[in-house]
């Protein structure tokens, strides 16, 4: 025999959860044999004694309707008990608790119904006590009773989508309240909502975090046939390495593979795995994701496995020109093995951060920092760097510093003077002023699981792609303006470059206008010039120009490094009345049409 008592601590049964196998699903049988649908309104004032149903849950749903119409909440129990809930003392303290005070919500009201299976196999209401020992709830507050609160399947799907999009539970609830017309119409409380979100997170953990991640990757591959992932398991059967990328990442890599950034300094996750985003730069000079990896350690073979998986996913014949990483010997060895023809560069942001901890008494010496930064990216030739470094070491007494000695042996990986002939997409990591992982905007902690990290990663990719779409839209509808007359070179730049790159060209153009150009030699169609920047003590650069085929070259090597003409070259083109940027000096990756053929 079962009691359904007056109390407000019962988890609700939903109409949507009831499946009747009888001829009249979702119905009850009245005393006179007629059938009433539970989804119809009924008179809530009378006794329910004698009502029968094929399933006990139908009677519970009916009693909940009665309770909602009358103004009280319900809970279920068994005959002779008030259910399996803990008892409450008169002061409201649970008997199983020590000192925590809680409000008393039960009044041991005798209002209830009693049901029992009859000889025909139907659940029948034998008794219905209509007397209450407490005030009834006004209709405007009835929705607060637990028996009235529920999260429907449709709401659950919306909540899950918002959770995956990293929307906080409190914000989710406000959204649902706004859509519903107020919190009283949401159908559940804020606490119910937070508990539901917590159960969503626990579901993945209880199901096995690594297994759930593999299921997510498999699902992605089913939905996106171009999706690629690789797994590696250790001798104990545990997942130790994983890499994945989707089809759009490959599409982006084929266009912008010339520069790859890979940083492993970010470890904030439950298992202390090394997080490795692989990042590029698109035609708007914004970050794009090429792939993501977890690896369990920083050994040579781990990095080799990752780079080989990445290379396999993108195509063996498509290699980066330059790879930016942190300062790690194992990573260096792996890059030599997998990408022997690529230029390996150390992230200058990391070099600068490490240098600060080795400055010692020079930490607050601005003149020293100025000289050091010039060595990093202010020298135009190897000879100039060697002279600058030698004088810095001698003047500041750093001859016995092991750290500066080791840094010097790696100079080809971090000094711009040694990399003038290699494409860097305009990246000197110091310009970004932070590591690539910080740029991801990850909101993770030391308790973040792999599946949570996967959703964080997806959210980051969606955010970056949304920014890219806005940039594409702005390029179509907007024509840039300038403080300079939009004619000739500047007008041509506005037609071919994206808005971001046009601003970079405009800046070079503005500097070019203020420079002096002195002709040095003339031989047939070839002239050479010395271009002096005005208002600075910067040394002049030598520019040669062949008017027969519009070939131009500058000793600063900016075009080779960035894919855009320097102000020295722009000055000479302007001087020679060249009205358009020569085609060979327009790098397609920076143009509005970079993805036109895709």
DSSP SS3 for 388: helix
**Helix, strand, coil tally for the chain in percent (to 5):** 40, 15, 40
User: By the 8 A CB rule, do 443 and 455 touch?
Assistant: no
What pairs with residue 481 in β-bridges? none
Identify the residue with better confidence: 316 or 229: 229
User: Residues 329-354: pLDDT tens digits?
Assistant: 788 899 999 999 999 988 777 787 77
* Predicted local distance difference test score (pLDDT) of residue 181: 78
pLDDT at 388 over 90: yes
Percent pLDDT > 90 in the chain is: 31
Q: How confident is the model at residue 507 (pLDDT cuts 50, 70, 90)?
A: very high
User: Residues 290-320: pLDDT tens digits?
Assistant: 999 988 888 889 899 999 999 999 987 889 9
Identify the residue with better confidence: 44 or 348: 348
C-alpha–C-alpha distance, residues 110 and 128, integer Å: 10
* Predicted local distance difference test score (pLDDT) of residue 62: 72
* Predicted local distance difference test score (pLDDT) of residue 477: 84
pLDDT at 205 over 70: no
* Predicted local distance difference test score (pLDDT) of residue 427: 78
pLDDT at 238 over 70: yes
573: closest CA among 562, 557, 561, 585? 585
Identify the residue with better confidence: 5 or 500: 500
pLDDT at 95 over 70: no
- H/E stretch holding 123 reads strand 123-129
Average pLDDT rounded to a whole number, residues 215-234 = 90
User: Residues 490-506: pLDDT tens digits?
Assistant: 999 999 999 999 999 99
* Predicted local distance difference test score (pLDDT) of residue 265: 65
* Predicted local distance difference test score (pLDDT) of residue 595: 82
C-alpha–C-alpha distance, residues 307 and 79, integer Å: 66
* Predicted local distance difference test score (pLDDT) of residue 551: 96
Token readout for 111 is 């209002």
Q: Which long-range contacts (CB under 8 A, 24 or more apart) does 65-68 make?
A: 65/38, 67/6, 67/145, 67/147, 67/148, 68/44, 68/142, 68/145, 68/147, 68/148
Give the range among 57-66, 139-148, 267-276, 418-427 with minimum mean pLDDT: 139-148
327: closest CA among 392, 281, 263? 263
Q: How confident is the model at residue 435 (pLDDT cuts 50, 70, 90)?
A: very low
Backbone angles phi, psi at 341, to 5 degrees: -95, -5
* Predicted local distance difference test score (pLDDT) of residue 266: 61
User: By the 8 A CB rule, do 162 and 179 touch?
Assistant: no
DSSP SS3 for 535: coil
Q: How confident is the model at residue 530 (pLDDT cuts 50, 70, 90)?
A: very high
pLDDT at 382 over 50: yes
Give the range among 124-128, 225-229, 531-535 with minimum mean pLDDT: 124-128
* Predicted local distance difference test score (pLDDT) of residue 86: 24
- pTM of the model as a whole: 0.65
Token readout for 69 is 């119409």
Give the range among 97-106, 166-175, 461-470, 530-539 with minimum mean pLDDT: 97-106
């Amino acid at each position: 025999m079962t009691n359904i008592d007056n109390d407000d601590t019962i988890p609700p049964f939903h109409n949507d959860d009831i499946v009747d196998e009888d001829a009249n699903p979702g119905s009850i049988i009245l005393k006179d044999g007629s059938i009433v649908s539970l989804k119809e309104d009924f008179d809530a004032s009378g006794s329910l004694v004698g009502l029968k149903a094929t399933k006990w849950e139908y009677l519970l749903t009916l009693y909940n309707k009665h309770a909602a119409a009358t103004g009280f909440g319900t809970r279920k129990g068994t005959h002779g008990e008030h259910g399996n809930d803990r008892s409450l003392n008169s002061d409201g303290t649970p008997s199983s608790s020590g000192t925590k005070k809680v409000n008393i919500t039960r009044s041991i009201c005798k209002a209830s119904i009693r049901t029992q299976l009859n000889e025909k196999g139907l659940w029948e209401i034998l008794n219905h006590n209509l007397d209450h020992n407490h005030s009834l709830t006004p209709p405007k507050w009835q929705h607060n009773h637990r028996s009235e609160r529920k999260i429907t399947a449709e709401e659950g799907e919306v909540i899950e989508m918002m959770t995956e999009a990293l929307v906080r539970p409190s914000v989710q609830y406000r959204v649902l309240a706004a859509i519903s017309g107020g919190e009283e119409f949401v159908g559940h409380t804020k606490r119910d909502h937070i508990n539901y979100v917590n159960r969503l997170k626990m579901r993945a953990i209880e199901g096995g975090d690594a297994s759930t991640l593999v299921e997510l990757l498999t699902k992605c591959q089913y939905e996106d046939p171009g999706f690629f992932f690789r797994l590696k398991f250790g001798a104990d059967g545990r997942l130790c390495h994983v890499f994945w990328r989707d089809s759009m990442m490959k599409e982006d890599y084929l266009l912008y593979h010339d520069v790859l950034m890979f940083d492993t300094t970010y470890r904030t996750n439950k298992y202390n795995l090394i997080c490795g985003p692989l990042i590029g730069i698109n035609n708007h000079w914004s970050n794009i994701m090429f792939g993501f990896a977890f690896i369990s350690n920083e050994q040579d073979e781990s990095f080799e496995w990752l780079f080989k998986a990445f290379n396999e996913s993108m195509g063996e014949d498509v290699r980066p020109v330059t790879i930016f990483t942190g300062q790690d010997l194992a990573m260096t060895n792996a890059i030599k093995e997998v990408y022997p023809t690529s230029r390996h560069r150390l992230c200058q942001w990391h070099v600068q951060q490490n240098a600060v901890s080795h400055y010692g008494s020079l930490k607050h010496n601005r003149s020293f920092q100025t000289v050091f930064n010039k060595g990093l990216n202010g020298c135009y030739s190897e000879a100039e760097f060697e002279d600058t470094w030698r004088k810095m070491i001698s003047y500041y007494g750093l001859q016995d510093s092991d750290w500066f000695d080791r840094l010097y042996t790696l100079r080809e990986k971090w000094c711009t003077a040694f990399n003038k002939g290699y494409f860097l997409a305009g990246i000197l990591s110091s310009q970004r002023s932070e590591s690539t992982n910080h740029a991801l905007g990850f909101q993770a902690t030391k308790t973040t699981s792999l599946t949570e990290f996967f959703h964080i990663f997806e959210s980051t990719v969606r955010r970056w792609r949304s920014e890219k779409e806005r940039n594409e839209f702005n390029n179509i509808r907007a024509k840039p303006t300038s403080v300079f007359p939009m004619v000739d070179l500047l007008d041509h730049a506005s037609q071919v470059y994206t808005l971001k790159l046009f601003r970079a060209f405009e800046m070079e153009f503005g500097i070019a206008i203020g420079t002096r150009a002195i002709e040095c030699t003339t031989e047939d169609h070839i002239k050479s010039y010395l271009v002096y920047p005005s208002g600075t003590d910067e040394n002049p650069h030598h520019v040669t120009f062949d008017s027969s085929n519009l070939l131009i070259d500058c000793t600063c090597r900016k075009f080779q490094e960035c894919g855009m003409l320097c102000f020295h070259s722009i000055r000479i083109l302007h001087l020679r009345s060249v009205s358009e940027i020569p085609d060979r000096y327009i790098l397609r990756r920076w143009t509005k049409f970079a993805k036109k053929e895709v």
